[in-house]
Amino acid sequence: MHVEIHGRGDADAPVLILSSGLGGSAGYWASQIPALGAHFKVVTYDHRGTGRTGGTVPEGGGIAAMADDVLEIADRLGVERFSLMGHALGGLIGLDLALRAPGRIDRLVLINAWSKADPHSGRCFDVRLELLAKSGVPMFVKAQPLFLYPAIWMAENASRLDAEEVHGIAHFQGEVNIRRRIAALRAFDVDMRLGEVTAPTLVVATKDDLLVPYSRSLRLVEGLPDAKLVLTDFGGHAVNVVEPDGFNEAVVGFLRA
């Protein structure tokens, strides 16, 4: 798997693994690396089936198989205990690890994630899959920002979105992988097990997230034994990209507390 290491290089540096969402790319975290790297050894990776890792997502592997990839990365790096920050799908990976390998997880940061998918998110997934099947990869990629960013931010960053669209089409992970990764998102359900998570957790959510209702984050805070909520009015699904300064400050403060 394609893995990158950023930030502190000293042997005692605390390790933070970043796991992105459906896109699976390590590059998603570009706005976080400088701020986090000042305090942590930051590990990013391209998920199996995506980006520079490539390959095929195992059929029926689900979130647990993706979480096993994180454990393999940690083992290869000789890291026994680490914190994990996950965006959406990446947050589900974090929850799975916190339940199956609690001794490995120090702290969790969950961004617009969930313990069980909301029917509204399912409707969004249906629309995206229908676009892919009926209109092809270019239209699927063109529609993606609508689910990630607030309208005003998209209007002010049109050239950036144009560049992301070109890159997204050129490096599309493939219809089979997308379908299997979305199936894993929909099947994930640890709602009745949240009380078993022992890791201190920061839950980050935005009220204007089109893809994931922020009520899913409120449920996480309600069910997790040791959770703190950061809820903002603006930022969309990809709040760490849209509002990186405030986001980075909140995350660093939590992880260093």
pLDDT in tens, the chain (257 residues): 999 999 999 999 999 999 999 999 999 999 999 999 999 999 999 999 999 999 999 998 899 999 999 999 999 999 999 999 999 999 999 999 999 999 999 999 999 999 999 999 999 999 999 999 999 999 999 999 999 999 999 999 999 999 999 999 999 999 999 999 999 999 999 999 999 999 999 999 999 999 999 999 999 999 999 999 999 999 999 999 999 999 999 999 999 99
Q: Which long-range contacts (CB under 8 A, 24 or more apart) does 178-182 make?
A: 178/22, 178/129, 178/132, 178/140, 179/129, 180/49, 180/57, 180/58, 180/59, 180/61, 181/22, 181/24, 181/47, 181/49, 181/57, 181/89, 182/22, 182/125, 182/128, 182/129
pLDDT at 156: 98
Helix or strand or coil: residue 99?
helix
Is residue 177 within 8 A of residue 49, CB to CB? The reply is yes
The encoded tokens of residue 36 equal: 């986090």
Is residue 113 within 8 A of residue 216, CB to CB? The reply is yes
Q: How far apart are CA 62 and CA 182, in angstroms?
A: 9
pLDDT at 44: 98
What are the pLDDT digits (tens) for 26-85?
999 999 999 999 999 999 999 999 999 999 999 988 999 999 999 999 999 999 999 999
The answer for 62, left when phi > 0, alpha when psi is -120 to 50, beta otherwise, is: left
Phi and psi (nearest 5°) for 31? -75, -10
Q: How far apart are CA 55 and CA 27, in angstroms?
A: 18
Q: What are 7's strand-pairing partners?
A: 41
Q: What are 83's strand-pairing partners?
A: 16
Topology annotation, domain 3-256 = Rossmann fold (3.40.50)
- What are the angstrom distances between the C-alpha of 242 and each of 19, 23, 50, 125? 18, 17, 23, 22
- The sign one gets for the Cα dihedral 147, 153, 158, 162 is negative
The encoded tokens of residue 221 equal: 């805070």
Q: HSE of 120 in the Cβ direction (CA atoms, 13 Å)?
A: 10
pLDDT at 61: 85
